[in-house]
Structure 1
Amino acid sequence: MFLLAFLALIVERFTGYPDWLFRLIGHPVTWIGRLISQLDTRWNREADDFATRKRMGIRALAVLMAIVILVSAVLQDVLLVIPLGPILLILVAASLPAQKSLERHVRDVASSLKHHGLPAGRAAVSRIVGRDVEQLDEAAVCRAAIESLAENFSDGVVAPAFWMGIGGLPAGAAYKAANTADSMIGHRSPRHEAFGWAAARFDDLVNLPASRLTAALFVVAALFVREASPSNAIRAIRRDAKNHRSPNAGWPEAAMAGALGIALAGPRSYGGEMIEASYMGEGGRSELVYEDIYEALKIARIADMLLIGLFGVLAVLMWQV
């Protein structure tokens, strides 16, 4: 199924997910989100004890995965045998990666800082990060945007394409469901610490291969960017990735930080609470400016082309087997 992933990446790279289509029918993530919300409402009861809520969270994740895999498997089988079905299958698969929208949102942060100043930059970055942005200076806004680019390139582009290549539309959709569940219920809030435990752990597991692949893509991409250093990226990965609060996000963030010679991550505020975190690219330049976002976008764009090329080669090799 690497051919499906390859074609889906190409289509999404050029078209994205059209706004008119989103307004008309929504998006697979919104459909999955509604199902997660229903499971959360029905099965995450505050009157239950911690162990019961944890058990119900495991059940909710299993139900979510079963429904998504079943529906997408049936859809794939049907589309593969009807006239023009394979084309429709590619279009459906192209809704899973998010290359175009990720680049657009991150570029908006740099453009807002450049043309409209810090308040506009804060507003733009607030659309792609969950941290408090009201007190961020320009360097912190830039850092947040680049971190989001690195992490979301891994779980929003590489991971769905990777799993689609491994198991077709069902595997790609299942990954997207797991990732959506983690973002909705996989955080350590009083309501979701128990119920979202399974979603958070499962998301860590399924993102593991993509995070390592993303870091490798960033290292290779740095070879083609004059201002970047692949050797520094490798050193940052080895030194800093393991110190990140996430078992996966540290890999792409450290690679990006090392390649650009900057410091990412570190302490940040969520909901008024300061969270201590290690720096990725320890010792790198911390006074970032909007130009650094453009440099990070160069690396991500080249990494994306490398990913598409890799999947193209794998598709040819699998076709010949």
Structure 2
Amino acid sequence: MLLFSLQEILWMLAAAILLDRWIGDPRWPTHPVIRIGRFIKRLEAVLQREGASPSLPAAALRFRGAVLAATTVTASFAVLWGIVAAASAIHPWLGYAVNTWFISTTIAIKGLKDAALLVYKPLSSGNLGEARTYVGYIVGRDTDHLDEREIARAAVETVAENTVDAVVSPLFFALLGGAPLAMAYRAANTLDSMVGYKNERYLHFGWFSARLDDVLNWIPARVTGLLLVIAAWVTRGMSARRAWMSIIRFARLHPSPNSGIPEAAAAGAMGVRLGGRNRYGSVISERAGMGWPIQPLNREHIMGTVLLLYRTADLILGGVVCLWIAVIIG
């Protein structure tokens, strides 16, 4: 059962985008995604008690992982639907406010910018140690021995990739089903970030979560690629043509069916080369190159990627407003 009309959803999406850009992630009450993460940890502790045992069949681990994913996503949707429905029953405007606020918690425009700035500022002052610490908060790779170029690459890649995960995808699902569906998506995305690894513990247990995240992001990632091309077109010093050609040439080389699209677009738009060697503990991962090295990658490209992020958010906001006006007129 839909709680809101398309017209109502559209203006709430616009309000949620503005709310996130001005305020960002809430410090109180506890962020809903943090609560989802705690739920995943508790349920994993129950389902994964034998997860490290090589004697447990892969099929059994995959089944348990599917139970974890299905339970988490369903519970996230059901709880949010109940909260929004209860608020709407008290008063329609309370329902609007609650739905808008929860949508804003599923996106992270300001949060991504702030995280990027925490890396950019110490790089600007030559403090590589502090920059390594902060970039380590937003990437999974080892950062202890990264030089400035590699720190910048890590930050650029994660901001570009999260333009899908933390902006376009949740807004896409919010358009389809309000805050409950957006939060269900964030639950799936959080599952992937927590258990979707190809290591001994999660290779089978996290398989379903990783595939679910790939499926849910498939359409939004391609929409993001188009938006980034347009964002490059309206941004001085960036190339829309190169962004588009980079997507066509390089995105398919990325191990993820989705992440290569925004990374290739950002690399092409700014004329830099992304990808390369990443270290994860004792594991070395060689990522295919993205884009052409027209200029050396440096800290300024972190802010260039943030600019692309904000231009993308502006395009979405403008599109939502235009669609809202069209619905009203129609």
TM-score category (smaller protein): over 0.9
Q: Would you say the 8 A contact 1:2–1:164 is kept in 2?
A: no
Counterpart in 2 of 1:89? 99
For residues 53-92 of structure 1, the aligned pairs below 5 Å read 53-83=61-91, 84-85=93-94, 86-92=96-102
Supply the RMSD in Å over aligned alpha carbons.
1.6
Q: Would you say the 8 A contact 2:161–2:262 is kept in 1?
A: yes
For residues 1-321 of structure 1, the aligned pairs below 5 Å read 1-19=9-27, 21=28, 25-44=29-48, 45-46=50-51, 47=53, 48-83=56-91, 84-85=93-94, 86-281=96-291, 283-285=292-294, 287-319=296-328
Could you tell which deviates more after superposition, 70-79 or 183-192?
70-79
Q: Would you say the 8 A contact 1:9–1:308 is kept in 2?
A: yes
Using a 3 Å threshold, how does the CA distance of structure 1 residues 320 and 176 change in structure 2: closer, same or farther? Answer: farther
Could you tell which deviates more after superposition, 272-281 or 291-300?
291-300
Distance, in Å, in 2 between the alignment partners of 1:318 and 1:197 is 41
Shift of residue 316 of structure 1? 3.3
Q: Would you say the 8 A contact 1:218–1:252 is kept in 2?
A: yes
Could you tell which deviates more after superposition, 226-235 or 289-298?
289-298
> What do the CA deviations read for 1:229-280 (whole angstroms, capped 9, x no partner)?
0000000000000110100000000000000000112221111321011011
Q: Provide the TM-score with structure 2 as the length reference.
A: 0.91
Q: Would you say the 8 A contact 1:186–1:199 is kept in 2?
A: yes
Q: Would you say the 8 A contact 2:153–2:274 is kept in 1?
A: yes
> What do the CA deviations read for 1:14-57 (whole angstroms, capped 9, x no partner)?
111233x1xxx311111111111122111122343211111111
User: Secondary structure of 2:72's partner?
Assistant: helix
Q: Provide the TM-score with structure 1 as the length reference.
A: 0.94
What 5-or-longer segments of structure 2 have no aligned partner? 1-8
Distance, in Å, in 2 between the alignment partners of 1:8 and 1:100 is 12
What percent identity do the matched residue pairs reach? 33
Could you tell which deviates more after superposition, 165-174 or 295-304?
295-304
Shift of residue 4 of structure 1? 2.5
Distance, in Å, in 2 between the alignment partners of 1:181 and 1:295 is 29
Q: Would you say the 8 A contact 2:99–2:178 is kept in 1?
A: no
User: Secondary structure of 1:133's partner?
Assistant: coil
Q: Would you say the 8 A contact 1:4–1:165 is kept in 2?
A: no
What 5-or-longer segments of structure 1 have no aligned partner? none
Which one-letter code corresponds to 2:59 in the other structure? Answer: A
Shift of residue 313 of structure 1? 2.2
Runs of 4+ residues deviating >6 angstroms? none
Shift of residue 89 of structure 1? 2.5
Which one-letter code corresponds to 1:78 in the other structure? Answer: A
Using a 3 Å threshold, how does the CA distance of structure 1 residues 285 and 142 change in structure 2: closer, same or farther? Answer: farther
Shift of residue 285 of structure 1? 4.1
